[in-house]
Amino acid sequence: MTTPHRDLIGKHALVTGGAKRVGRAVALRLAQAGLDVAITYQHSKDEADLVTKEIRAMGRKAFAIQADFAQVDAARHVADKVLDAFGNLYALVNNASCFSPTPIGKVTPDDFEKNMAVNARSPMLLLQALAPALSSHDTPGRVVNFVDIHVMGQPLVGYLAYNMSKAALHELTMTAAMELAPKITVNAIAPGVVAWADAYSEQDRKDYMRRVPLARPGTPEDAATAVLFLVQDADYCTGQILRLDGGRLWT
């Protein structure tokens, strides 16, 4: 278990999509490090309640907010709830994501708009709404976005709308890092596989693993460790994309 970090105790974090998989692991790891944590969920209320219960058992504050980030007013609603409850914010982790096949020739306007709304627009709107709170600390507030190795030179075939939306989030990371320094650091994690998507068949998984030098899939806990580094230790790091792919990017 992570030892609480003296400088993080009493500070607050928001993890979007924090009820399951990677988001759950991130929320729990930040709480173990000393942060109070708010999470968002869309449909997974039972799982969200369990995460907040586990965090409270550590002696931290925690609550969950239902939000559909495809809706334009969701980010403002979440930001207001977080500030009403915590009064401040130290770390924003944009983990909530939309991921579904959108091959060229079959992409509808709704497909495109949903991917852009969830994967790019909502992180931008959350960042804008929460920037004053994130910039109000003695040390820089932290923003961590989840992009993807497939928007870094290896596009994921058949996922055009997803790739485009995550590329937009990549550019948000780089632009915000410049505009918000020195009060806020903005970095991103670009995972390969840290939790298998349901759409991946057993053969897809075997084919993927043959291209991973470290010879294992990543885990949600690997992603949580990377987030904690950027939140807790990376004081002189902004505008960086941390590749978390077991070497997959280079093969």
| Entry field: residues in the chain | 251
In angstroms, the Cα distances linking 6 to 3, 55, 60, 110, 193 are 9, 17, 14, 46, 32
Q: So what's the pLDDT on residue 110?
A: 97
pLDDT along the chain (251 residues), means of 10: 81 97 97 98 97 98 98 98 97 96 96 98 98 96 95 88 97 98 97 71 71 76 96 96 78 58
Q: Is 162 a catalytic residue?
A: yes
Distance CA 240, CA 251 (A): 21
Q: So what's the pLDDT on residue 249?
A: 59
Which domains does the chain show, CATH number per domain?
A: 12-250 (3.40.50.720)
pTM over 0.95: no
Distance CA 128, CA 122 (A): 10
Q: So what's the pLDDT on residue 203?
A: 73
Tokens encoding 7: 């400088």
Q: Which residue among 162, 200, 208, 236 is the active-site one?
A: 162
Tokens encoding 76: 């403002």
- Which residues in 5-90 belong to E strands, given as ranges? 12-15, 36-41, 62-66
**Paired sense of beta strands 91-94 and 241-244, if any:** unpaired
Q: So what's the pLDDT on residue 246?
A: 72
Distance CA 220, CA 244 (A): 11
Distance CA 145, CA 58 (A): 25
Q: So what's the pLDDT on residue 245?
A: 79
Q: So what's the pLDDT on residue 172?
A: 98
Q: Give residue-wise pLDDT tens across range 104-144.
A: 999 999 999 999 999 999 999 999 999 999 999 999 999 99
Q: So what's the pLDDT on residue 153?
A: 80
Name which of 18, 80, 92, 96 is nearest 55 in CA terms.
Answer: 18
In angstroms, the Cα distances linking 36 to 141, 219, 221 are 14, 23, 19
Tokens encoding 43: 């449909």
Distance CA 144, CA 139 (A): 16
| Helix (H), strand (E) at residue 66 | strand 62-66
